[in-house]
Amino acid sequence: MPRPLPQLDSTVLARAQHGDRNAHAEIYGLFSTSVFTLARRMLASRALAEDVLQDTFVEVIRKVGTYRGDAEFGFWVKRIAINKCLMHLRSSWVSRRMDDGDDKVALLPTKAAGIDEQIALERALDELSDTARIVVWLHDVEGHTHGEIGRMMGRTASFSKSQLARAHERLRLLLGGEPEKVGTNELCTPELKTC
């Protein structure tokens, strides 16, 4: 089951819709973790996740006045973030930008399995192709259907299904198979896939 989203108080929402800066900050405080987590896991890059976090909340501030409550507020915010992630990946130049190298992020406490397994899974997730990683995250974690994912990516439900299968096949290999051979370049740059 997808992790439940924080609930936004209706008075905070009303204040935000009237341009109250403190209310905007409260909204950021409530949803920044889930947006940053979503973006970091979808894009496999801390720097790009920061970009998405920023762009998402700039848009939330600008458009909060148009929010009519058709969907849960947190869901609305996440949809903006997902669109921003997809926009980043559509940009061939941005998607190939190299990361800082310092990709340490503060992990919040979890009741889940061992940290070693989580690190291994995190790394394996980062190794997937952009498309496979996005599909597996949106489907298995965010709970979107293949039809929804297909629409978001401008493709079909079948495309989403086959990408999910590929993602799981690759995850299985990465988590249980032989480590991949690293190229013989003097300097490997995985972000550009030159090794």
Partner 1 sequence: MHPRTEDLLSVRDGEPVDAEVRAAIKGDAAHSREVERLGETRHALQELPELAAPDGIWARIEAVERETRPRGHSWRLRAAGVGVAAAVAVAAVLLVGIPSRPRNGFEQPREVAPGLQTTVIDSTTGSPTLFDPLVSGQVTAASYPALVQESARLDRMLRRLSYQRPMMSGETATTIAGLEDRIALIDEQLTYSNARGVPQPERTALWGERVELMNALVHVRYAQAQPTGF
4, 69, 108, 181: which one contacts partner 1 (CB under 8 A)? 108
Assess contact for 73 and 8: CB atoms under 8 A.
Answer: yes
Tell me the one-letter amino acid at 67: Y
Half-sphere exposure at residue 139, Cβ-oriented, CA atoms within 13 angstroms:
23
Cα separation, 172 vs 161, whole angstroms: 17
Tell me the one-letter amino acid at 112: A
Residue 123 interacts with partner 1 (CB under 8 A): yes or no: no
Residue 32 interacts with partner 1 (CB under 8 A): yes or no: yes
Count of residues in contact with partner 1, rule CB under 8 A:
68
Residue 26 interacts with partner 1 (CB under 8 A): yes or no: no
According to CB under 8 A, which residues from 68 to 87 bind partner 1? none
Residue 37 interacts with partner 1 (CB under 8 A): yes or no: yes
Tell me the one-letter amino acid at 14: A
Residues with Cβ within 8 Å of 102's Cβ and at least 6 positions away in sequence, in order, are: 46
Which helix (H) or strand (E) element contains residue 101? none
Residues in the chain: 195
Residue 22 interacts with partner 1 (CB under 8 A): yes or no: no
Cα 80 to chain center, whole Å? 11
How many other β-carbons are positioned within 10 Å of the β-carbon of residue 181? 7
66, 116, 180, 187: which one contacts partner 1 (CB under 8 A)? 187
100, 123, 129, 147: which one contacts partner 1 (CB under 8 A)? 100
Cα separation, 134 vs 152, whole angstroms: 11
Closer to partner 1 by CB, 14 or 21: give it. 21
- Selected range binding partner 1 among 9-17, 69-77, 78-86, 178-186, rule: CB under 8 A: 178-186
Q: Which residues bind partner 1 (CB under 8 A)?
A: 1-3, 21, 24-25, 28, 32-37, 40-41, 46-47, 50-51, 53-54, 57-58, 61-62, 92-93, 96-98, 100-101, 105-113, 117-118, 121-122, 125, 136-137, 140-141, 161-162, 164-166, 168-169, 171-172, 183, 185-187, 189, 192-195
